[in-house]
Structure 1
Amino acid sequence: MDTIFANIRRLGLLIATVLLASSFAVVVSAETTFEKIKQTGKVTVGTEAAFPPFEFIEDGKIVGYGKDILDTVIADLDVELNQLDLPWQGILPGILAGKFDFVATSVTIKPDRAKQYAFTVPIAEGTTWIMKRKGDTSIKTVDDMAGKVVGTQLSSGNEAAAKEFQKDMISRGLKGFGELKLFTSYPEVTLALANGTLDVAVQNLPNLAVIIKNQPDLFELVGPITDTSYLAWVTRPEDTDLRDYLSQQILKMRDSGKIDELQEKWFGFKMEIPNKGYLPDGAL
């Protein structure tokens, strides 16, 4: 009989231990990404370092406008940074899969994305423009893309913008593009335009403005194909506390004049950083 009672007591202790462990696991799993960052003293971010002058590689290191903003944020957090350099096509799927803590690369704010990801306040304007080779008189307006070979980055906001503009052209009785070529990175798009593979490059205005500033004899702007839009960072939808912290830091830099300083450094001009009205309806 004593053996039976002893076994029951051991079984009860085992059940209690399992329940305690389960409750502890629930507490741990309830920890937010922001809390984890502060507790571990480490943060991992996803970046596409092929988007100059926002993020790019120089002397083996990630540099740029976005990197300077990130360094300021990391200094405030006082944590160790692990910055992953990834192809753009892996950035947004990667954040949802939990491969890093937030996206510290420039993401165009779009209605469909704003329902899937938590966007920070903007870090720059992201309006989609087109660029041509200098002296190409066959392209004077954006409608002259009809029948032309157009290029942009695969799975980017600019791919979606180009396709939407082509639909608009066709609805107005114009021809569509001769071809839409998609590339892994934007530097590949610029090279293809320079060597004649493309007639038109589609990209965000700040990037194109810097390309033309650096190579004024090769390229020139034509015009916008979207309304004014913005670029921002993103977190997972459940990490709104982290998103809010990042937004606070960006606005703090804006209000102190630091953002203006960095924009002059990397772009040579200033861009508006709004704190409202930049998100579409239904955004997280």
Structure 2
Amino acid sequence: MSILAGWKCRLMALTLCAASVGSAYADDQLAKVKKAGELVVGTEMQFAPFDFLENGQQAGFNKDLFAEVGKELGVKVRFIDLPWPSVLPGLEAGKFDMVGGPLTVTKARMERYTYTLPVADATDALLKRANDTSLKQSSDIAGKTVGAGKGSAQLDQLKAYVATLPKPPEIREYVDNNQAYADLAAGRIAAVANSMTNIAYVAKQRPEAFAVVTPPFGAKVYFAYCMRKDADSKPLADAFNAALVKMHGDGRLATLQKKWFGVAMDAPTTMPTPNY
């Protein structure tokens, strides 16, 4: 082989190596987001207080939180509104960068998706009438009537909890949470079991009618966002989590929680092990 031919081979090898490195960076989800200048988030805007439509415009905790994360990453955030059954398949098909549901963190989902750090408490708790002085703690529902969503995880948690009480309450199952809240306001039931985040929002919207019974009765669980479970998504997850930790430290996360949930909630800065 001539010296010239040798140099050509070396140049070709260096070119291929550079192309390989460039391809690796191109496949990195964080690099793609920064190059595009936007973070694309799939969500369902029918899940107050996280995402909902107000006068035809997006409102809620997600909009505000992702705006702050976008500032930290130096990108804009674009939401895609889809029916919930289409959101996770859309993520897996690569139609957007992450899901802004949020989702309850569970062991089964952690095997399939990369979660961000938790952003809110999803633990089950009780909502009562604001003027009900007989319900000071969760165990005070013994012998009363309590509502919960039919077929929900909250109903399962409620059944497990009331089995520990000396006089288990009667449980009424509701297809529509709003009907459960209406029955509660009318005095037909003593409390409604649901996630802490949901009932805190309901109590914030109607403080004259409702109040949250603390502490929660259910196993500790959290809401978080998720991405595809692959090496390419890890840099984006790390950057997103770094932004959340910063928001923890400067109080922005607590401020948004108080704004949308009515209370600041425990949201750990390391990923907890799910209870189920």
Shorter-chain TM-score above 0.5: yes
Q: Which of residues 233, 250, 258 in structure 1 aligns to 2:225?
A: 233
CA contact (8 A) 1:96 1:236 kept: yes
Alignment check: 8 A CA contact 1:44 1:102 kept = yes
Match of 1:103 in 2: 99
- 1:179 deviates by 5.0
Matched, 1:86 2:82: yes
Partners in 2 of 1:153 and 1:39 — Cα distance? 45
Aligned runs of 1:268-283 on 2, under 5 Å?
Answer: 268-276=262-270, 278-280=272-274
For residues 115-169 of structure 1, give each alpha carbon's deviation from its aligned partner in whole angstroms, at most 9, with x where no partner exists.
2221111212222112245567998846848895733387xxxx22422442454
Q: CA deviation at 1:53?
A: 2.9
Shift of 1:248: 0.7
State the partner residue of 2:197: 206
- Coordinate RMSD, CA, aligned: 3.9
Partners of 2:275 and 2:31 lie apart in 1 by 29
Q: Which amino acid aligns with 1:209?
A: A
Are 1:163 and 2:151 an aligned pair? no
Deviation at 1:250, TM superposition (A): 0.8
Q: Partners in 2 of 1:142 and 1:30 — Cα distance? A: 55
Q: Distance in 2 between matches of 1:136 and 1:247?
A: 40
Q: Report the Cα distance in structure 2 between the residues aligned to 1:128 and 1:104, rounded to whole angstroms.
A: 21
1:44 Cα deviation after fit: 1.9
| Of 14, 30, 35, the match for 1:34 | 30
Aligned length: 251
For 2:150 and 2:43, the matched residues in 1 are separated by 16
1:203-243 deviations in Å (ceiling 9; x for gaps): 22133123223313433434533133222111111122221
Residue of structure 2 equivalent to 1:247 = 241
**In the alignment, residue 249 of structure 2 is paired with which amino acid?**
D
Q: CA deviation at 1:268?
A: 4.1
Give the AA of the match of 1:206.
T
Q: Percent identity?
A: 30
In 2, Cα distance between equivalents of 1:172 and 1:195: 23
Q: TM-score of the superposition, structure 1-length normalised?
A: 0.69
How far is the alpha carbon of 1:89 from its aligned partner?
A: 4.0
